[in-house]
């Protein structure tokens, strides 16, 4: 090869730009913008994908939240028009139709939204649980055989100032049916008790048939008019303890009705505390009697429910407060009469002192709650009964879940009355009204919530000299 040719080859190689130089060549502005656009596009795609996962379906969300609420409101309005009036009922029905439409549209929209399967499953489960709560409430309140409904009605209608808890949710027919349909264990007799034929009383026997008989008949002094016995036990079907007092009154003619001087059927009526009623009537012992109407829940005890008869005269007759009971009174033969009748009928049948309440616990020697084996609602209770020998029994049990005494159920106080020989017995107003006074001093512990409370009452059973 000639020298000149070698030089040409060398010159040719010198004209070629090194590869390393090409790789490190600065990027132009045009190329930089192109790369930036690609990055932005990728980022937007990523955000769009995440937004699809988290995209809120407001139509579906709102319909799931508000449709069950509106449906429950409308269901309550169908069963009682006290809490929810007709306008709200119609408005809630319109909202139901609106949310049903939005629910359908929301479901269709949800189908076309791309989401993670896990997120869809989580949201579906949450919605199902939320709706199930309202469906469950509806079934518990308005199912064909709802024990919750019966519990609410029993608990509310047994009080004097919380009956609205039942009347807000249920109509009068449902409340009456629930109270009267006490099934196998509580077929309450309301047709009345037969007259008692008093047996001769043998005090201070050497042998007694039971400890209960001994407590009743073993008198410290032969001339004692009454005796107070401490009561304690546990609720049927549970281990809740209760305590209270039973008063045995040996002369039934001394048991009468004492009334508040302000009791009546008008808005200005007012009640008095038990110790005041006792003092004004010179009573040895006094116990609360019938329930009272409580407008605006002021608990002034002024308007007694049902008929009130004192010394053979009608004191007042307002609407009945306990549909499962009736008249509770003594006639001129000093027999305890349990019978549903008006005040006029009671006067014509020879009733001298009476109130209207219930339910009846023992009728003609039959315990109306003998078949109750499981726990039922317990609270402060009051009751009155009479033995076959004429001895009157007045019972109070402290409750309200206070220390030492949880309270008693109807079955509990019926059993106590049965143990002490009652052939007829009836429940009286309970709760905070439950009170017992001896010589104008409180014997038991009236309770309301978490504190001692003395309530004003329209009337009381009193024992006079």
Task: State the average pLDDT for the chain.
Answer: 84
Cis ω before 347 (30° cut-off from 0) = no
- Closest by CA to 361, choosing from 281, 419, 284, is 419
User: Above 60 in pLDDT, residue 129?
Assistant: yes
Residue with tokens 């008095």: 272
In Å, how far are 89, 106, 127, 197, 416 from 72, measured between CA atoms? 10, 21, 16, 55, 42
- Given CA atoms 104, 109, 114, 116 in this order, what sign does their dihedral have? negative
CB-count burial class (<10 Å; 0-12, 13-18, 19+) for 129? exposed
- Given CA atoms 108, 112, 113, 119 in this order, what sign does their dihedral have? positive
* Most distant pair of Cα atoms in the chain: their distance: 160
Pairing of strands 392-397, 241-249: antiparallel
Tell me the pLDDT tens digit for each residue of 287-304. 999 999 877 667 789 999
Any residues with CB less than 8 A from the CB of 58 and at least 6 apart, and which?
A: none
pTM of the model: 0.66
User: Above 60 in pLDDT, residue 350?
Assistant: yes
Structure tokens at 215: 């407590």
The helix/strand/coil state of 14 is helix
User: Above 80 in pLDDT, residue 310?
Assistant: yes
443 falls in which pLDDT band (50, 70, 90)? Answer: very high
- Closest by CA to 400, choosing from 452, 355, 322, is 452
Comparing 415 with 77, the larger pLDDT belongs to 415
Tell me the pLDDT tens digit for each residue of 10-61. 444 444 444 444 445 555 555 555 556 566 555 555 555 445 444 567 888 8
- pLDDT at position 197 is 76
């Amino acid at each position: 090869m000639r020298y000149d040719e070698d030089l040409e080859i060398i010159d040719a190689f010198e004209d070629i730009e090194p590869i390393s130089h090409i790789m490190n060549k600065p990027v132009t502005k045009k190329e930089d913008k192109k790369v930036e656009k690609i990055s932005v596009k990728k980022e937007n795609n990523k955000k769009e994908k995440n937004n699809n996962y988290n995209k809120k379906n407001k139509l579906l969300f709102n319909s799931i939240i508000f449709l069950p609420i509106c449906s429950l409101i409308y269901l309550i309005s169908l069963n009682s028009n006290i809490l929810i009036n007709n306008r709200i009922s119609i408005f809630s029905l319109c909202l139901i139709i609106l949310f049903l439409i939005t629910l359908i549209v929301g479901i269709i929209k949800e189908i076309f939204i791309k989401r993670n399967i896990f997120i869809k499953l989580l949201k579906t489960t949450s919605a199902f649980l939320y709706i199930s709560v309202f469906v469950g409430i509806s079934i518990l309140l308005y199912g064909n055989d709802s024990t919750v409904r019966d519990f609410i009605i029993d608990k509310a209608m047994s009080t004097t100032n919380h009956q609205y808890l039942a009347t807000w949710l249920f109509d009068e027919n449902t409340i009456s049916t629930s109270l009267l349909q006490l099934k196998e264990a509580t077929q309450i007799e309301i047709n009345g008790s037969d007259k008692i034929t008093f047996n001769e009383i043998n005090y201070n026997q050497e042998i007694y048939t039971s400890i209960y008989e001994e407590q009743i008949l073993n008198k410290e002094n032969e001339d004692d008019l009454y005796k107070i016995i401490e009561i304690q036990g546990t609720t049927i079907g549970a281990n809740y303890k209760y305590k209270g007092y039973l008063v045995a009154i040996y002369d039934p003619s001394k048991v009468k009705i004492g009334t508040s001087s302000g009791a009546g059927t008008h808005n200005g009526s007012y009640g008095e505390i038990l110790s005041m009623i006792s003092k004004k009537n010179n009573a040895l012992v006094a116990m609360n009697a019938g329930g009272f109407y409580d407008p605006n829940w002021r608990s002034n005890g002024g308007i007694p429910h049902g008929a009130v008869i004192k010394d053979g005269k009608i004191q007042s007759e307002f609407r009945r407060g306990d549909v499962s009971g009736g008249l509770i009174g003594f006639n001129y033969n000093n027999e305890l009469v349990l019978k549903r009748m008006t005040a006029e009928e009671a006067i014509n049948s020879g009733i001298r002192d009476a109130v209207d309440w219930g339910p009846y616990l023992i009728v003609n020697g039959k315990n109306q709650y003998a078949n109750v084996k499981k726990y039922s609602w317990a609270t402060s209770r009051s009751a009155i009964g009479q033995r076959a020998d004429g001895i009157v029994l007045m019972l109070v049990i402290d409750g309200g879940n206070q220390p030492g005494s949880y309270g008693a159920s109807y079955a509990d106080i019926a059993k106590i009355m049965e143990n002490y020989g009652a052939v007829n017995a009836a429940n009286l107003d309970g709760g905070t009204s439950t009170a017992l006074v001896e010589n104008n001093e409180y014997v038991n512990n009236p309770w309301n919530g978490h504190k001692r409370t003395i309530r004003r009452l329209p009337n009381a059973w009193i024992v006079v000299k």
